[in-house]
Structure 1
Amino acid sequence: MIKKKNVVLYIGLTLTAALLVIAIFGPVLAPYSLEDNVGIHTEVVNGETKMIVPPIPPFEDINHWLGTDRWGYDVWTMLLFGARYTIFVAFIVAALKVVIGALIGLMMGLRKKQPIWWTTFEEMWGYVPGFLVVYFLLLPITMNPTLSPLTLTSLFVIVMILIGVPSVTSSIREKTIQLKREPFIEASRILGASKWGLIRRHFLPHFRVQFLLLFVLEIVYTLTMMGQLALFNLFVGGTIYQPDSKLYISITKEWAGLIGQARPYLYWGESYLLFVPLCFLVVAILTFHLLAKGLQLHFDHTYKKTRWY
């Protein structure tokens, strides 16, 4: 019997690798610096002298294949510089949420009696709109900030972890309660295994697949949250507001921020400045969706388990 290939997983892994390369080497691969901009100039195209005036649409100038904005800043360069804030922030938030949420969930789940205050908090927190919490906490310090982009990014990571850990904890806690009823867990307890011994020898190996899938799905959630915040002009790493021109500018050039700052260009006839970064962000989100689906199919086939989420 011919083994069916997991095409979804291969595509997801390939695109994930490409995103990581862009995030790691983006500034090195960028053809220009963020300070470089092109002004009005002439070029010889097919033997004819042509005047080039920003904004340059995509594919009209070989030196700026994704175009420039009206101030002459290269779109491809901004995307490459912003990739590290987009991808790495999503990875860090997802990883810390899973690690912290898993540890708390395991410890809570192994308690003999579940604290009423904690289960009540989990239920209550499930109705709290995370977007509003992040927005109103970060808005005062993100708009025309005095803090550095790295500090603002770190604060975004912290806030995202605080609002996301309870949901991860709830999921792991419930699964821990179910698993600790299994006979092999009871046998280990009777033989004198400590709580940390149970976690290290039984729970962590048993949950490793769930942790991996949860990590990928949390990346998707973080990217989606960044996109939602950008619609309200809150960009990761800081937002510069210019009241005279009513423009919001992303300091870090993260992809969601480039989408948010480009909304006025729809009315100025330069819609590509919005749709180009939008395509990159959508591809990133779809990449991790494919990766999660591919991993799920792989583990379902390997362990013959039904989906867990």
Structure 2
Amino acid sequence: MSVPTAPVEPVRMSQPQFSELPRLARRHPLVFAGGGLLAVLIILAFAAPLYVGDPLNIDPFSRLQPPSSENWLGTDNLGRDVFARMAVGARISLMVGLISAASAVVLGLLVGVMAGYNRSFDNIVMRLMDGLMSIPSMLLAIALVSLTGSGVGILIFAIMITQIPSTARQVRSVVLSVRQRAYVEAAVCGGARLPKVLWRHILPSTVPLLMVQSANLCASAILTEAGLSFLGVGLPSEIPSWGNMISSSRLYLAVAPWSVLAPGICLAMTILAVNLFGDGLRDLFDPRAKRAR
């Protein structure tokens, strides 16, 4: 006699709960506000060739023209479209900020982990990091650019070098704290190899720090690039960037304020978006910091 069995229901894959997004946005507004604004800026910047004209086109008969239907943000002292240059400059500034911050985080992570886990390596490398941190980052970047020449790659390398020490020291402090915990000592006593201990027990503890640090370094890199270009030691003047735009138009502020205000406002909005996103990540990973404010 066969026993009746209940029909087996097909296994349903869990679908993303988009209805949870409003609740998450209320709980972490800074992450959504900063991340949303930053995403919009990145999309508009990298899609700039699709909706703007040539940012290098010079028209001497259209110098210092106010905003119009043909030139949405007017023209600069050489007759170039300010909106086109601002959109293309956003791509340059964001690329410099993202690449230099990501490179600094990766190299700082490697240096910090090895310094925190190997005392002999710590004594040598961290003294070098202390020496780099004693030099102002702007002056060090100016010296590197002056010695090697200007260019996007050189500028990214110069900014990255100035950002590695702070990341390495913060990662080292986390590693020194985590390596003393019981589960790490148990893994070492159990015969776990060093790469496995680092990958499974040490590196996960540095992820929250690195995510917040990446946002801070990105904002600092964008400001450093704009400052170096403004001083004339960053990107070449023919490359449209926000720092170059402000530098070349500062003498015409009284006649054509739009040529300076447009890149300045975009720079401020980008830094605000990155800082909001970084503050939101800090509150997300460390609720105690949010309660303390």
TM-score category of the 2 structures, normalised to the smaller one: 0.7 to 0.9
Partners of 2:152 and 2:174 lie apart in 1 by 32
Equivalent residue number for residue 281 of structure 1: 267
Equivalent residue number for residue 12 of structure 1: 34
Shift of 1:306: 7.5
Report the residue type matching 1:55 in the other structure.
L
Q: Greater strand percent: which structure?
A: 1
Change (3 A) 1:123 1:235: closer
Change (3 A) 1:231 1:175: same
1:40-189 superposed matches below 5 A: 40=61, 54-58=63-67, 61-113=68-120, 115-139=122-146, 142=149, 152-189=151-188
Partners of 1:6 and 1:117 lie apart in 2 by 41
Partners of 1:124 and 1:64 lie apart in 2 by 49
1:21 matches 2:43? yes
Partners of 2:129 and 2:278 lie apart in 1 by 25
Report the residue type matching 1:259 in the other structure.
I
Shift of 1:94: 0.3
Cα deviations by residue, 1:55-87 (Å, 9 ceiling, x for unpaired) = 2113xx111111111332110011112222110
Equivalent residue number for residue 242 of structure 1: none
Shift of 1:227: 2.5
Overall identity of the aligned pairs, in %: 23
Report the residue type matching 1:170 in the other structure.
R
Partners of 2:144 and 2:77 lie apart in 1 by 33
Contact between 2:105 and 2:210, CA under 8 Å: does it hold in 1?
yes
Equivalent residue number for residue 214 of structure 2: 215
TM-score by length of 1: 0.80
Shift of 1:134: 1.2
| Superposed CA RMSD | 2.2
In the alignment, structure 2 segments of 5+ residues that lack a partner are 1-22
Contact between 2:86 and 2:241, CA under 8 Å: does it hold in 1?
yes
Partners of 1:186 and 1:113 lie apart in 2 by 20
Q: Greater helix percent: which structure?
A: 2
Report the residue type matching 1:16 in the other structure.
L
Partners of 2:124 and 2:206 lie apart in 1 by 26
